Amino acid sequence: MNKLAVITGGTKGIGKALVAGFAAEGFSIATCSRHADELTQLKSEMLTTYPDVDFFHLATDMSVKAAVKRFGAWVLEKNLPIAILVNNAGLFVPGQIHNEDDGVLEMMIETNLYSAYHLTRSLIETMKAAGAGHIFNICSTASITAYANGGSYGIAKFALLGMSKVLREEMKPFNIRVTSVIPGATFTNSWQGTDLPEDRFMKAEDVVAMVLAAYRLSERSVVEELVIRPMLGDL
């Protein structure tokens, strides 16, 4: 029975690269996205490359609590050992606290923080009972550095790092590792339309390589925070 990697927001950017990375390691994959057609296309791509991997997907709006809980229950129905949970689903809207549109804070918190909180709570008891597992929370350098155009996105990402730190302490007695992944600017759809050259950004595959390296450590060690930046620094 293959172990299961649960990866939210799996159809684009870092999420899609994570799906491919863990599929290459032989994990069964459970993922989600708001768009069913993108999930169908992702499954076709993954099974073409990794035909022996079990690939499960469910269209889910991770900004909606009930939908997140439904996704968590759906994952548990697979009755597979959850080895990996990657809370990756997120949304970036640039802006400033003093002039961004009303409602942006709520949208950022619901998508970038509450999704991780509610899904983790949905799956954690199963992981605790197994006494094993690794949770990766995809934060951002905006979790540790304030940017003038970060606005509510920065607030939500600071909060996600805080949640990750608390969860790390809580899970120590249960042998569940928790890693905060803190990537800088990565070439994904979030940067569509930029005038900057692609080589100024990190590759999503480089983030995945470090996540896999952290996972491969012995159970005696854990990478608590994984900070990765473009070679020339933040944008």
Residues marked as catalytic? 153
Residue 222 has which token pair? 């854990």
Burial letters for 35-67: b for 16+ Cβ neighbours within 10 Å, e otherwise? Answer: eeebbeebbebbeeebeebbbbbeebbbbbeeb
Could you give the C-alpha distances from 23 to 3, 14, 101, in angstroms and in order? 11, 14, 39
Beta carbons of 54 and 29 less than 8 angstroms apart: yes
Q: What is the residue type of 69?
A: K
Cα dihedral 32→192→214→122 (10° resolution) = -30
C-alpha span between 169 and 139 (Å, rounded): 17
C-alpha span between 105 and 100 (Å, rounded): 9
Strand (E) or helix (H) holding 19? helix 13-24
165 contacts: CB under 8 Å, gap ≥ 6: 180
C-alpha span between 216 and 70 (Å, rounded): 30
Residue 131 has which token pair? 């006494």
